[in-house]
Structure 1
């Protein structure tokens, strides 16, 4: 499937629904920043946004759904840079440079929104892999890893250490720079992986 078709796009909605959505997302972003994601309740978000609790739950389902909606705009910005931005993140650079640029950009995005991404990825078992943005990141990386023996597997393998739960657990012990360097080393190794000999 073409990468452009996998990008995250905002839903079409009526003007009043769009205003309510904007108010909710603004209130949630402010409350999460002030008090932390874990400490904020859906009731508090509804009150701060001036909408009914039922409206909030119907629109977003739960707090993880609200978190995912908040992340959409950030993901769209990164997706736009990948599709149409300047190289090396955007088109026009060799695959190894684009892969390194993507991993650095995604790691920066993850560190900037770690609690929200972690909540959206762990809301239910396997939630991370059902998020539309994950399919976009995976497809982009598989294209860049086209010369490897199994591009789809290599892309999943390189996305695995970028799981928010994994990063949150290891960040205090390893630190940002060590984790970033290790991730780029893995990508370098994946691009130079020899094709396995066929079994006799």
Structure 2
């Protein structure tokens, strides 16, 4: 059975809402994103925004999906399935660090709107599934799902922002730390790099 096709008017409204949200964020910054202001800017009723996105976090995650799509396409192009699991996992986690850094303000906004919403978002579920598969390949017999959760904790918006701003860590330091964790996973299972 195929998924139902989105109605043309619903698709137009979705694009209008996302464009309006981008415009408001560009003008007002990331401190807030009131859904009634988004609705007004998009020329739709506030109920339309709530039906489509449920809450501010849902709207923010929809905005993030554009960058997520580009990230997934770039990963598939450059890493595919031919590279060893260690190299694919390393490239994925490094790329994810860059993606989170680019979307830091949006992710912080989403986290403040719905603290656990991240774990139910399509990008998080997709990242978890991908990391679980690569960890299972890298370290057969390890609890790949738990290790995927552990690795994804590094991308918690509040922690990531704290490391980048308060601690002043650059992306190279964060990536080096992730490399240490990946090496540990590989070594614990006796897998050569």
- Scaled to the shorter chain, the TM-score interval is 0.7 to 0.9
State how far apart, in whole Å, the 1-side matches of 2:28 and 2:187 are. 45
Q: What's the secondary structure of 1:162's corresponding residue?
A: coil
Which aligned runs of 4 or more in structure 1 are off by greater than 4 angstroms? none
Number of equivalenced pairs: 183
- Give structure 1 stretches of 5+ with no counterpart: 1-9, 196-200
TM-aligned CA deviation for residue 28 of structure 1: 0.6
Name 1:79's counterpart in structure 2: 72
- Give structure 2 stretches of 5+ with no counterpart: none
Name 1:3's counterpart in structure 2: none
Indicate how the Cα distance of structure 1 residues 24 and 160 shifts in structure 2: closer, same or farther if over 3 A, else same: same
RMSD: 2.2
Relative to the length of structure 1, the TM-score reads 0.81
Give 1:156's match in structure 2, choosing from 138, 142, 149: 149
Residue 21 in structure 1 maps to residue 14 in structure 2: yes
State how far apart, in whole Å, the 1-side matches of 2:108 and 2:5 are. 27
Indicate how the Cα distance of structure 1 residues 68 and 144 shifts in structure 2: closer, same or farther if over 3 A, else same: same
Whether the 8 Å contact between 1:87 and 1:93 is mirrored in structure 2 is: no
State how far apart, in whole Å, the 2-side matches of 1:104 and 1:35 are. 30
Higher deviation after alignment, 36-45 or 107-116: 36-45
State how far apart, in whole Å, the 2-side matches of 1:35 and 1:50 are. 18
Q: How does 1:84-95 map to 2 (within 5 A)?
A: 85-88=76-79, 90-95=80-85
State how far apart, in whole Å, the 1-side matches of 2:116 and 2:55 are. 17
Q: How does 1:4-153 map to 2 (within 5 A)?
A: 12-82=5-75, 85-88=76-79, 90-146=80-136, 147-148=138-139, 149-153=142-146
